[in-house]
Chain A
Amino acid sequence: VRAWVDQQGFLEVETPARVPAPGQEVHLDAIAAPDGADGRFLITSPEYHMKRLAGAGFERIYQLGRSFRAGERGPHHQPEFTMLEWYRAGGELERVAQDCEEILAAAARAVGKEPPPVPFERTTVGGLLRRHAGVELRGDETVPELRAHAARAGVTTSASAWDDVFFQLFLDRVEPHLGAHGPVFVFDWPAPLGALARRKSDDPRLVERFELYAGGLELVNAFGELIDPVEQRARFTEETEVRRARGKTVYPLDEHLLEALGRMPPTCGAAMGFDRLVMLVLGAREIRDVVAFADDEV
Chain B
Amino acid sequence: MATYDTSDIRKGLKIMMDGAPYTVVEFQFVKPGKGAAFTRTKIKNLLTGAVLERNFRSGEKFEPANVEIKSMQYLYKEADSFVFMDTTTYDQVSMPAETVGDAAAFMPENLGVEVLFYNERAVGVTLPNFIELPIIETDPGFRGDTATGTNKPAKIGTGATVNVPLFINVGDVVRIDTRSGEYLERVGRG
Do these two chains interact? yes
Interface set of A (CB-CB < 8 Å, partner B): 25, 27, 71-77, 157-159, 163-164, 166-168, 170-172, 176, 193-194, 211, 218, 221
List chain B residues, Cβ under 8 A from A157: 57
B30 at the interface (CB under 8 A from A): yes
When the two chains form the complex, which single residue of B33, B40, B60 contacts A218, counting CB atoms closer than 8 Å? B33
- In the complex formed, the residue of A with least CB distance to B40 is A171
B29 at the interface (CB under 8 A from A): yes
Q: Are B28 and A75 in contact (CB under 8 A)?
A: yes
Between-chain CB contacts (< 8 Å), 9 pairs: A25-B34, A72-B31, A75-B28, A77-B31, A167-B32, A167-B57, A168-B38, A172-B55, A221-B34
Q: Are B29 and A171 in contact (CB under 8 A)?
A: no
Known contacts being A157-B57, A159-B57, A172-B55, is A167 close to B29, with CB within 8 Å?
no
List chain B residues, Cβ under 8 A from A193: 34-35
User: In whole angstroms, how far apart are the Cα atoms of A163 and B35 in the complex?
Assistant: 7
- In the complex formed, the residue of B with least CB distance to A157 is B57
Interface set of B (CB-CB < 8 Å, partner A): 28-38, 40, 53, 55, 57, 60
When the two chains form the complex, which single residue of B28, B33, B55, B60 contacts A221, counting CB atoms closer than 8 Å? B33
Q: Are B28 and A74 in contact (CB under 8 A)?
A: yes
List chain B residues, Cβ under 8 A from A211: 33
List chain A residues, Cβ under 8 A from B55: 168, 171-172
When the two chains form the complex, which single residue of B29, B35, B38, B60 contacts A158, counting CB atoms closer than 8 Å? B60
List chain B residues, Cβ under 8 A from A221: 33-34
Top 6 closest A-B pairs, CB basis? Answer: A74-B29, A167-B35, A171-B55, A221-B33, A27-B36, A164-B36
Q: Are B36 and A163 in contact (CB under 8 A)?
A: yes
Q: A25-B34, A72-B31, A75-B28 are in contact. List 20 more A-B contacts (CB 8 A).
A: A71-B37, A72-B37, A74-B29, A76-B30, A77-B29, A163-B34, A163-B36, A164-B57, A166-B35, A167-B32, A167-B57, A168-B57, A170-B35, A171-B32, A171-B55, A172-B55, A194-B34, A218-B32, A218-B33, A221-B33
When the two chains form the complex, which single residue of A75, A167, A172, A176 contacts B36, counting CB atoms closer than 8 Å? A167
